[in-house]
Structure 1
Amino acid sequence: MPVDKTEREVRTLVSQIEQGEIRLPEIQRGYVWKPTQVAKLVESLYRGYPSGSLLFWQTDEVPQTREAAISGPAGKSAVVPLYLLDGQQRVTSLHRVLTDHPQAVIVFNVETEKFQNQSAATAKDPRWIKVYDVLKPEADQYQLVGELHERNPDIPPGEISKRLQKLAAVPGHKFHMEVLRDFPYDEVTQIFVRVNSGGRSLKTSDLALATLSARWPGVLQKLEDEAKHWADRGYGDIDVTFLTRALTGAVLGRGLSAWSHARLVSATDDELDRGWATVRRGLCHLVSLLQNNLGASHSKLLPSMVVLLPLIVLLGEREDEHLDSGTADAILYWFLAATIRNRYSGSTDTRLGQDIPAARTDDPVRHLLDNLGVTGGVSIGPDDLAGRTVGSPYFFLSFLVAKEAGAKDWWGGIGISAAAEGSQSLEYHHIHPQATLKNHPEKYSKGEINDLANLAFISGKANRKISHRSPRDYFPTLGDQELTAHLIPLDEDLRDADRYRSFLSERRRLLADAMTGLLERFRPAWLSPASKSTDPLSGAVLEFEWYDNTTGDDVLFARARTNSGTWSGTMSAADLEDVVAAAEAGVDGDLTIAGESAPVRVQDELLEVPIGPFVVTGTLPEWRKVLDRERGDSRPVAALTDPGVNRWEGERLIFPVTSVD
């Protein structure tokens, strides 16, 4: 079984993709690179930096394939094709750049020799030129040099010409290639998994899908068809990645991990068939329960999709008999309790390894509640809602209780719904507008302003109509019933910004009572009534503030509060972004926080960062979303008061990054 080594130019690879001479085996994941990554690749080739090698497979077999993410379908090859195992993101990106793909509009700054994605700013700046305009076959270099010099007279034409020639040489860059010949599909899959585990690692779900594709040809089509079925019904988060997790959980009886692919290889055809039947049947029952019995019409409302996995197994393997209302309610009770307790915010694989087997017992809901530590009814108190915002699971419950109370949009008078579109699409509105609270003499913090108790669900049109008006001004245009349905106190004294903290306190009480009432409606009869709240994060708050530093690294300030005390500290925003980037490759790291080095871990596809009294945890997209939000709301570093150096000596609580304000 030889391995051939050769070289091939970029332009040749691009042509081979179009002609169908290079194809993607089903084990490949989809194209995921962002324009910034594409720009960096082009810059690396421009500067002559190492760009890695490519790994192909050539075989007389005809494996299942997937379409490359290029414009238009690939042709039908007249020769035996090469199947690309490693390098899909690079090769597809270069194809996009060289064929003027609308999602790869990379531009080049002829003065600074920088590359980036096209933007409104670069389109107006005479120094930037689209890379495709230089690389396209009919490009006239002499004409381009003249046009650029005319727009940039301070740059010598000779220098412009030299730089454009260097850029025009990119399609001639040669990639080193290794071609595996006559390897069987199952062995190629193992090579694929090892290559991607050793380099820029795939997520465990990608590795599991690759193994399933080799072990069970055609599975990707099954997953994509099933995902489309649920997307058409409002549950678009039941995507291929989620279905891979569900199938793996049904077959292996636990969550995904680095060893999942090895276990999947040994799974029998019967086990895979039964697992897939479990997933499909479980989803049919579960989604129906969520939509019809709970009012969760769309998956975008759900704070966590992982919490569905044990219930899919429970309902998918259940005897084909009538589901009585008591059992249905108990299932939803565990779903709500596990959601607000952030059951899978840390050690996801370990906890699924407890909960999936529990779902297979004779008394599954009781065992699932035992795993959650719930021995009596769950109660929600006002303190549980303090400091919570849109990322909190309580935000989901606030929508459910408002919907149950008959809340309507304040503009169209239509019941709130996640299905609404256009001007009626659902948004959340600051009841006391941010403009009236910022810079107020009471010095309301960002966390207080964005508090869950200050948010109501209304349409985008109603939100714009209200704009920055105080409740004192716009509440009189609404009837008491319209306010009550949104769990908003009617006391007129609470409508002024100087009484804002009292407003928060009263609305938290109304929301907490309604949420507890919702839970009680689903509480199984054998579980004792709700008592005092035992949420471990009750009263816990974590806030980030980003400060721009024109003379050095930007600073991220963190402020935390728990029942045990307060803490604050700073860290380098760039260092935290580097940690997130390293986590993408599955690499742990260190981060200096409040003057002390702290270990950062990547576990179960979650990034865990110890910050003061918390271990802040979340997926990489969740971390990026929080950092992007804070960067967009940054302040000058001169506004930062030195917090001093604080050390946290006590135990740390698991805190979801989605709950950071």
Structure 2
Amino acid sequence: MNTPQLTESIKSLVDNIDREYILLPEFQRDFVWEIRKTCDLFDSLVRNIFIGSIIYGKPTFEITVREIDRRPRKGEGSRRKLKVISLEKNEINHKLQISNFRLILDGQQRVTSIYRALKGIDEIWYVAKNEDELSDEIKSKELRDRTLEEMLYEFSLQEDPDRLSIKLADAFEISKGIIPDDIREQYFEKLSFIAGMDEAEIKENFKRYYTICIKLGELFNSEVLISYYLLNMDNEKFALFFERSNSKGIQLNFIDILAAKLYKGFNLRDKIDELKDKYHPNNLDREIIVRTIAYLVSDGKDIDRNYILTNLNYNHFNRYWDEVCELYNKVLNFLFNENFIISQSWMPYENMVIPLIIYLRESEQKDFSQMTEWQYEFIKYWYWATIFSQRYSSGSNEAIIQDANVLKSITKGEKITDRVFFSRLKSQIDSYEDIYSYSKKVNVIYKGILNLINYDAKGLSDWNNSSKLTPDKKLEDHHIFPKDYIKQQFKNDDQALSLMDCVANRTLIPKITNIKVGKKPPSQYLTELKNSNSKLDITLKEHLIPNEIIEGLYDEFFTDFLEERSKLLFELIKRNVIDKEKSIIKEYYQAPKVKGNIKIFATYYSKKVEATFDIESQKILFLGESHSVPSATNKAKFYLTGRNNTSTNGWRFWKFIDENGEEKYIDELRKLSRK
């Protein structure tokens, strides 16, 4: 389908926002997109997948407008008021005459996400595949002839230390015309990816970096916001198209497409209905089950959409469906019984169930009660650290596979030989002030904090009668200081109003209790509750709420209360995640047992070549001669293809088999030599 709408480039869009030629009507909702959705948005742009039309309006009447949200997501300036301007009719007419002035009527989230990424407000990184990760067809092309889509590994929230990464904001600045020497000094040489490389490797990777920046600049200057779609799409684009668009208000995802594919031998929809009856009240997520089956079929290598739609068939589902469903139910029961989640609707990452299913499947008794204390301690740390590092917020498929493989090792009592794994579990919360930034239920840290309170209390109690809260109760994230009370009592206090929905002012209680609270001051409604629950003091302590709140000491000091509770919440995170990091690494990490000379190999254009690597000298013996890693890589590629000048990171070209029988890049050995 082709569309008759006008088009504009991304660069033009950003420039017009900077000049305030593009603004929002004051009544538009706030910018609410989680940062990971920005990754999806740029992924769609690179893949030429339709992201929807932006609808603008040129007003002919007086109206109040506001700026595009440029605020940081947390920290200083994150809660400042957005600039609001009231425009008279004559002012609007003047703007229309001298500029392309317009208001965004639909598409604010997409426009704001693009702007924030390219201005560096939100860090979004284009992560490129390494040469060995490309298909043979793409490898055969010259670098300049490869498309951004062909070279793309993922869009990420941070630089990938193992792959060439380009921050979109840097690429946007470079596209304005910066000379190569300045690009290398200001941007490229700051990448951790190139640490330890020799000059030849650095030169080749700068060539890749510069080429990708040029192509990103071409993307920013092309008219891609409005596009048309051909119907001959591959599985991945077909699924993405339905997931990222609505058809008459009905949202579809790739599981609906998969159900149609499997129908001949496995009625997925009927099986899902059976699950609802069998495992009620647990709500088993069909996508979790499907991705777990993909993990098993691929032998722990692939769980993404394209693999599922291309490779899975009804025989696989007939073989694994019942087993995986039973394990899934056991995992949910474990999470409930151990107080990791207070209810399934409040689970921070549903995908975390997959590694736990694999752990349980690999265990001999298929029962969590039989795990050792050593295994249990690791699972506790992994669970909370994954949440507070927001590990699954982008590129989650790779993280799921890695975590499932790690938990398989833990099942066998084996330690973890990948040191980088632990660095990816670093908490995003560094101080109690960071907690102020989380105010939306959709955020994983917001949910994680509320569940961690429940975990620490070994099960939270109801405020009415101190009975334990159970998954079947309809829980709400109750405002401890009611919203209406804050709006009335602190109406002139911008800070109090901006922090009203902060997670430090929230706790989970049944809906009926929340309704009773109304807009009373905390001391009043809590005193009323205490009349029916003499153990309310104990209950509030479980919820990490200072008991002085009942006495009315905080009624006039909302921000003081938030600070005190945020400190309590931060101490809880420190105790369960931050303070445990060093001891966990010491107990569960084991450096790969490699020394001396080891056999290495590489596969290039479907051909395999072997060599020997001297760990101490970092030299490779290939065809009877000793070479540096880059030199041996070039020799091997020429030996296999007869082609020169093919850029590849040699440290991620050659592989070895570790003591667990797993393939690893020799880059792991370089990392060991630096320790």
TM-score, reference length from structure 1: 0.43
Q: Would you tell me which structure has more strand in proportion to its own residues?
A: 1
TM-score, reference length from structure 2: 0.42
